[in-house]
């Protein structure tokens, strides 16, 4: 097993170990946008990965500037192995309970084992 695979397994195990802190979500990966020329409507389509375990965290007060990071924004920590072949990107969505979070920005650790996803309510 490669070192990167070991880190990915460790990230998934860490999120599983935090128990009820992690929540089960649906991750919606933006796949295409369709524009209807007759109505002018824009429709986004998504590929859905169900049962993705996510740990939500708050931004630190010094990180909140009111523009790039708003007070109600959150960080979603997601093990890469939980997403299968999906790679988080802006315009994706996370559905947690009845709450929809839109992905603003994505960071990944050097081993590509854990995504730190900046999310915001629409």
The domain ranges of the chain are 3-120
CATH 2.40.10.270 for domain 3-120: yes
Q: Cα torsion for 3, 80, 118, 99, to the nearest 10°?
A: -160
Q: Can you tell me the mean pLDDT for 91-119?
A: 95
pLDDT digit string, tens, across residues 70-81: 999 999 999 998
Q: What is the pTM of this model?
A: 0.79
- Per the rule left: phi > 0, alpha: psi between -120 and 50, beta: everything else, 112 is left
pLDDT digit string, tens, across residues 32-59: 888 889 998 988 889 899 999 999 999 9
């Amino acid at each position: 097993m490669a070192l990167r695979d070991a880190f990915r397994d460790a990230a998934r195990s860490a999120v599983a170990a935090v128990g009820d802190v992690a929540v089960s979500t649906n991750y919606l990966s933006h796949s295409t946008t369709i524009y209807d020329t007759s109505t002018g409507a824009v429709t986004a389509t998504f590929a859905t990965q169900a049962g993705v375990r996510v740990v939500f965290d708050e931004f630190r007060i010094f990180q909140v500037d009111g523009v790039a990071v708003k007070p109600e924004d959150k960080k979603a920590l997601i093990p890469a192995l939980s997403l299968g072949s999906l790679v988080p990107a802006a315009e994706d969505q996370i559905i947690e309970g009845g709450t929809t979070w839109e992905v603003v920005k994505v960071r990944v650790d050097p081993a590509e084992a854990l995504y730190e996803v900046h999310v915001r309510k629409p």
